[in-house]
Structure 1
Amino acid sequence: MNALIQESNVDAREPVLDTVDRVSELCFGLFMALTFVGTVSAATAGADAGQKMLYTALGCNLAWGLADALMFLVRTLTNRGRRLTLALAIRSAPDAAAGRRVLRDALPKFMRSLVSDEDLDSIRLKLAAATNLPDRPRLARDDYVGALAIFVIIVLSTFPVALPFIVFSDVPTALLVSRILTLVMLFCGGLALGRHAGWGGWKAGLGMVIFGVLLTMAIVALGG
């Protein structure tokens, strides 16, 4: 709906990935790798323990990176289809009042009382005059770039967690380094989210670290 309000081209694309998307995918990859490394480190010993942990975590994140990238494309196509359906419903409304109702119902609840009929009429008239509405929702090059970026972020997030087990032969030392790197990355992710949202960056960073620790403990306890 935001894209529809901003411009009459309902097929217009948002930025490939925003700060929330990038940090969310990074944290998802970290959590997946961390739970696998923790599980394998407790059950694996020997000279090749580090390689086993790296390959296990990497294989997990390769699979989930692919799944998440494909779901990003599905979500993008679905949202674009909803915008197109909304635009067509507004254009086919029998009168101005009906068109305004369709637009107002599509707004988030907190915005419905803030937008006047005149504002809605401006959008409705732009849509009525638009000549570039697509016949169906489509994926574009930037969408595939976004899916690839999600896949790469999730896969790359494996290495700070699992690589210490290749660098250090002592598993307890490698596990300590892995956890420290994970906490640093979680803090940086929270810091970025806090600044993006206008909160206190340091508080958001610490909050993300606490959240990450508790979530990882819950995932492990539930058998993840």
Structure 2
Amino acid sequence: MRFARLVLGAALTGGILSTAALPAAAQAVPVPVSVSAAPAPVSAQQAGLPVPPGQAAVAIKGQAQRTGYYCAPASGAVVLGAFGIARTQDQLAKEMKTDAKAGATKRKNTLAVLNAYVAPKGYAFRLTYAKDNPAALMLSVAQAVGVHKRPTIVAVLGNKLPWSKGKRKVGHAIVAYGYDRSKGTITVWDPNGRRGATGRHVIPAKALAAVVHDLPAEGLGGVYDLSKTPAP
């Protein structure tokens, strides 16, 4: 198994790590439905945002990352697919300048590429902080999923996730596409190729916030916050 250092994964980052190496072609897996960073607000009311429903999920077409360092391109392909935008992992890796030698994708590149595709549809992503702040994390996920009906990306330390624990620090990108505020849980898709890691997982928001990969020194948050852009 190859562990590669990503910068937001690295893509999701200025530095995110990737996980397991996969077969040459990633198999799409249908999943039923079901730039500057700023601190995320703790409530929609405080932020003047639409109040999301108590629980929601959106349909995604999950993918396993094609290489050990493609977590950002894979997560990006899943998210863009929900916007009706078809891009392969290889296409996004090229556009995001994913570095095979470093095994990384810089967050600023991931953010720029995602926004270039969703801007014509009237949306924009920004990076926000949510490390050890489950309320902020839940708000960002609920706004994307419950209000805008789209999934979003969360930068995490992949080796700290309950289903892929390891000793080596590994930056990673996963997709959040569902939540239940009453249960305090978030549903994610992990593109990691490790056995038992790839696919759908339901995790407490508190546990997920504990492994969010924020990079304050670089001005980068760990959650992609989605919003509608003003009409021209």
| TM > 0.5 | no
Greater relative CO, 1 or 2 (CA 8 Å, sep 6+): 1
Structure showing greater Rg? 1
Q: Which has the higher helix share?
A: 1
TM-score (normalised: structure 1): 0.22
Q: Which has the higher strand share?
A: 2
